[in-house]
C-alpha cells in the first residue's frame, strides 16, 4: 500500500524521470505499487551481450534507493581514483578531420573485412592524393610547407623560388622598411622553403 507521503505527492503531479504504464511492479521487497522510475541495474544486471536490466521502483522507493546508492561500491581505491579524474570517460578515440580531402579510416580491427576491400580502397585514395600531376610524391610535411608558402600541390621548383622571393621581400625588415613585426612569419617561410628545396618533389 502506498505511503501517506506518496498519496500526497502523486495526484496530478509530474516527476522528472517518471514513466507511466511500464507494466513493471516496484522492485522494492514487499511493495505492490507500479514501478514508474528507472534505477541502475542490480548487481549482475550489466552484461555485454544484452541490454542492461534496469530496476523499476515506485516514487517512495526510488527516493530511498537514490539516497543509498553508491556509484563506487565494489571498486578498488585505484578504480575510484581513476573514475574521479576530471577527464574520466573522455579518453575514447575520435576521428579527426583530414586536410588532404579524405577522413582517416576507422580502426580496421572494428570491422570484418576478410578481402581487405575497405582498406585497399582507402589506401588507393590516399596514394592518389599524395601524388602530384607529375607523379612525384608529397609527404605530409611537404603539404604543410606548401600551405605556409601559399602554393598548391603541383607547384614546380620555379614557382617555389618565385614565391619564396616574394614573401622574403614582404616580411624581411631590410626589404619592408624596417618593420620587424613579421619575424615569426619570415622564419616560417624560410623553414618551409628550405624543407621543400630538399624534397624529392622539387628535385
88 and 98 share one domain: no
- State the cell numbers at 38: 528507472
29 and 76 share one domain: yes
pLDDT, residue 31, reads: 93
7 and 33 share one domain: yes
Counting Cα atoms < 13 Å in the Cβ hemisphere of 119 gives: 10
118 and 186 share one domain: no
Segments forming the whole domain that contains residue 31: 1-92
In Å, the largest CA–CA distance within the chain is: 91
Q: Which of 147, 152, 155, 132 is nearest to 192 (CA)?
A: 147
pLDDT, residue 77, reads: 80
Residues 6+ apart with CB under 8 A from 6: 33, 58, 59, 60
Q: Which of 119, 154, 151 is nearest to 134 (CA)?
A: 154
152 and 182 share one domain: yes
**3-state DSSP assignment of residue 188:** helix
**Angstrom distances, CA of residue 26 to CA of 10, 12, 69:** 15, 20, 17
26 and 110 share one domain: no
112 and 37 share one domain: no
pLDDT, residue 5, reads: 46
Q: Which of 11, 2, 69 is nearest to 35 (CA)?
A: 2
Q: Is 188 in contact with 167 (CB distance < 8 Å)? A: no
Q: Which of 72, 106, 130 is the last residue of a domain?
A: 130
Q: How far apart are CA 66 and CA 178, in angstroms?
A: 70
pLDDT, residue 134, reads: 77
pLDDT, residue 41, reads: 77
pLDDT, residue 2, reads: 45
Q: Is 136 in contact with 201 (CB distance < 8 Å)? A: yes
26 and 14 share one domain: yes
Q: Which of 55, 57, 58 is nearest to 10 (CA)?
A: 58
31 and 11 share one domain: yes
- Domains identified in the chain, total number: 3
198 and 152 share one domain: yes
pLDDT, residue 115, reads: 65
186 and 108 share one domain: no
pLDDT, residue 191, reads: 93
5 and 87 share one domain: yes
Q: What is the block-wise mean pLDDT of the chain (203 residues), using blocks of 10 residues? A: 46 65 87 89 58 83 85 76 68 54 55 64 58 77 90 88 90 80 88 90 80
Q: How far apart are CA 202 and CA 168, in angstroms?
A: 20
CATH number for the domain spanning 142: value is: 1.10.287.110
Q: What phi and psi values does residue 25 have, to the nearest 5 degrees?
A: -100, 150
pLDDT, residue 1, reads: 45
Q: Is 171 in contact with 185 (CB distance < 8 Å)? A: yes
Amino acid at each position: 500500500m502506498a505511503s501517506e507521503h506518496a498519496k500526497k505527492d502523486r495526484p496530478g503531479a509530474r516527476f522528472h524521470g517518471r514513466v507511466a504504464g511500464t507494466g513493471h511492479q516496484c522492485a522494492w521487497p514487499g511493495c505492490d505499487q507500479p514501478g514508474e522510475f528507472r534505477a541502475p541495474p542490480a548487481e549482475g544486471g550489466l552484461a555485454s551481450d544484452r541490454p542492461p536490466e534496469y530496476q523499476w521502483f515506485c516514487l517512495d522507493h526510488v527516493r530511498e534507493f537514490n539516497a543509498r546508492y553508491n556509484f563506487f561500491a565494489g571498486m578498488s581505491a585505484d578504480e575510484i581514483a581513476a573514475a574521479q579524474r576530471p577527464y574520466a570517460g573522455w579518453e575514447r578515440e575520435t576521428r579527426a578531420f583530414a586536410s588532404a580531402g579524405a577522413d582517416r579510416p576507422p580502426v580496421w580491427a572494428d570491422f570484418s573485412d576478410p578481402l581487405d576491400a575497405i582498406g585497399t580502397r582507402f589506401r588507393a585514395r590516399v596514394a592518389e592524393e599524395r601524388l602530384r600531376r607529375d607523379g612525384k610524391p608529397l609527404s605530409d610535411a611537404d603539404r604543410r610547407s606548401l600551405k605556409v608558402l601559399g602554393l598548391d600541390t603541383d607547384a614546380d621548383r620555379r614557382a617555389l623560388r618565385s614565391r619564396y622571393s616574394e614573401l622574403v621581400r614582404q616580411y624581411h625588415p631590410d626589404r619592408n622598411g624596417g618593420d620587424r613585426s613579421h619575424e615569426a612569419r619570415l622564419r616560417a617561410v624560410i623553414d618551409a622553403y628550405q624543407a621543400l628545396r630538399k624534397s624529392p618533389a622539387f628535385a
